[in-house]
Every structure is written in C-alpha cells, then in structure tokens.
Structure 1
C-alpha cells in the first residue's frame, strides 16, 4: 500500500527539463491546431483559438510559433513526420520505394487527426496564398525522396535504365495523395492492406529490370 504523501510522490518524480516542457507545449498546440482544421477548416485557425483549445493563452502560441504562417508550417511538418515506420534501416533504392508506398497506404488505416488536417490543408493549398508555398515545399521534399530511390535503383541495376526518376516521383506522389483523399472521404471503400500490396506490386512490375 502506498502511504507516501502527494508531495513525497511528486518530489520523487524527475522534473521535466525546459526543453521537454517546451516540446510538450508545442505538441499540445499542434494537436489543437489540427483539431480546429479538421472541425472547421483553415479559416477557423487563429492563434487565439489554438491557445484556447490547448488550454493556453494566445501569447504562448505567439511565443512558440510567432505567426499563423509559422504554425501552419510546423503543423505540415509534424503531421507527416514518421508517417511510415520501419524504413530507417532500408537503403535507398527500389526496395525502399516499394516499402514506402505500401507502408504509406497501410498507415492510412491508423491515421490520426494531424494527418487528416494535413490532407485538408493540402487540398486547399492551390487556392490559398498562405498554404501554397508550405505544401509546395512539402511535396517537393517528398518527390526528392522518391526521385532518390528511383535514381539509386537505376544506378544499382534494380530499375530499368530508361525510367525517368522525376516522372516516377510525380506519379507516385500523385497516386498516394489521391488514395489518401479517397480514404479521407470514404474510408470504408479503401482496403488499405490490400491496396498497399497492390500499389507496391504495380510499381515493382513497372520499374524493375526484367
């Protein structure tokens, strides 16, 4: 039976560092921002509302992000960080590409609010001056990673020499984003496990050296 006082139990816990407290606060603010986007769209996203939803003041949001634009950029980065797990030890090349596309589709089944917010923001980005540069940069980074996999596959002989890495990167990104939006609109119509395997197999047959 625990007979220690509350103060004794509290004192026994290691105190969080300033960096840990900062990371905790930023995570709470980003989660609140994602909730607001999913509930009411980017127009509902103000620093004051984010602070209120997270239980902080607007001043805290401004202190951590500085502006709504910076908050949106942080939300876009954090929503996709580590979306596909288990790729760290897989070297660049065809197998990395195939695991990425299969893993991406399968991960949609467990996608949380942050990922849903990312897709909603991405879908409206072309007509939004504040969102367009953020998501153009996000897509460019994704295409660069895909391009690197295909180019490495060509270099090591796993991918046909006549394949254009840039064209494949554009096509793969478009496919993944399209599947993501379909899943967002009608998750029951997208079998992520089956589709993940199908997409990977389709790209293997399209790219690999015979």
Structure 2
C-alpha cells in the first residue's frame, strides 16, 4: 500500500494541471475580449485568439470547440460576479438597489471584458450565432431582478401594485443603455455620480 508521502505528489500534480487549465482558459478568454474590443466580433477567430494568447489554435479548439462556444463562454464569464457585493445578499429591495448602484459604478472601470460584453450584446441583435446566448443571459438577469421585486412586494418594502416584469425590463434596459453610452462617449457619463442618482431614483419609485 503506498505511503502518504508517495500519494501526495500525485495530488499535487493533479492540482497543478487543473490550475494550468484554468489559467489557459482565462488567457484565451482575455485574448478574445481584447480582439472584440479592438476589431469587433467578426475579427475573432480561433487562430487569432490562440496567437494573441500565445497558444496554438488547437489549444483554443480543445478548450472551446468552436468560435460560438468561445463567444458564449466570454459572455458568461464577463458578467459573472460583475457586482460581487450582492452575491451573498438575500433577494429584495436592498439587493436590487445595491445591484443597480454597483452595476453603474462598475461600468466606470472600463475593463476589457466589460467592454467586450457590451459590444457582443449590441452585435447579438443582428448576429444569429450570438442572439440565443444573449437572450439567455438577459433573461437570467431579468429573473434575478424579478425575484428582488417579488420578495420586496411580499415583505412590504416595495409597493404592492408594482409589476416585477416591467421593473426587470426597465432596469435591464437602463443599465445596458448607460453601458453603451459609456462605451461610445466616456466623458459624457460620470458613472460614480450617476450610480447614486439612478439608485436613488429607483428607491423612490419602488419604495412602499
């Protein structure tokens, strides 16, 4: 029977391999985001992503399989945890307000992945290979917003006559619209000041 000392290097090697895989995937997604921001969605190919990240096209294919799968993964990764402070909060009015304020504030960071997401989202309106993925992403976002409103109505912090779906559509549209304005005219959008203003407006509009 192998000793503990003999087994330990095997577990360490496995962890190292998983770490390398994670790092490679992150590097490929980062390279794809850079290409989207610099040259647009149509400029993204598996070969160019691999070259930008310092890998072969075969590595990109191994991780994602196709350009569409790569863009899907980029869309998901660029929005996951976009406002990390709300991750552990229970649904309701306070989470909704913090999400709105945090989202607008994060837009001011001008990160590559956030900009890539907005460009992909805009492209999805006319690109069939992107539309389904972004419909799913937007619906997941609306579902979270609806949960906040529904719970707020139930606990009495949000007006009873409020329609959760209407609020979800309006909030998502406002956040994405602010993001696109920031992308096109950064100097026109003061995200730090606007984040507070928009959050206060929604609090006044919804509070019971």
Aligned Cα root-mean-square deviation (Å): 1.1
Runs of 4+ aligned structure 1 residues displaced above 2 Å come to none
Alignment of 1:142 onto 2:133: no
| Bigger mean CA offset, 80-89 vs 62-71 | 80-89
- Where in structure 2 are the equivalents of 1:20-99 lying within 5 Å? 20-99=19-98
Q: Which string of whole-angstrom CA distances, capped at 9 and with x for unpartnered residues, describes residues 31-82 of structure 1? A: 0000111111111111011001111000000000011111011000011111
Task: Compute the displacement of 1:22 (Å).
Answer: 0.5
Aligned to 1:126: 125
Residue 100 of structure 2 contacts residue 175 of structure 2 at CA under 8 Å; is this kept in 1? yes
Q: Which runs of 5+ in 1 are unaligned?
A: 1-13
Task: Compute the displacement of 1:19 (Å).
Answer: 1.1
Task: Compute the displacement of 1:110 (Å).
Answer: 1.1
Partner Cα separation in structure 1 for residue 110 and residue 184 of structure 2: 13
Task: Compute the displacement of 1:87 (Å).
Answer: 1.2
Partner Cα separation in structure 2 for residue 181 and residue 33 of structure 1: 20
| Secondary structure of the corresponding residue to residue 125 of structure 2 | helix
What count of residue pairs does the alignment treat as equivalent? 196
Aligned to 2:175: 176
Partner Cα separation in structure 2 for residue 89 and residue 34 of structure 1: 28
Residue 81 of structure 2 contacts residue 87 of structure 2 at CA under 8 Å; is this kept in 1? no
Task: Compute the displacement of 1:29 (Å).
Answer: 0.2
Partner Cα separation in structure 2 for residue 24 and residue 51 of structure 1: 14
Structure (1 or 2) with the greater helix fraction: 2
Q: Which string of whole-angstrom CA distances, capped at 9 and with x for unpartnered residues, describes residues 153-187 of structure 1? A: 00111001100000000000000000000111111
Q: Which string of whole-angstrom CA distances, capped at 9 and with x for unpartnered residues, describes residues 118-145 of structure 1? A: 1001011111010110111110110000
| Secondary structure of the corresponding residue to residue 160 of structure 1 | coil
| Bigger mean CA offset, 83-92 vs 59-68 | 83-92
Partner Cα separation in structure 2 for residue 186 and residue 64 of structure 1: 35
Aligned to 1:208: 207
Partner Cα separation in structure 2 for residue 159 and residue 72 of structure 1: 37
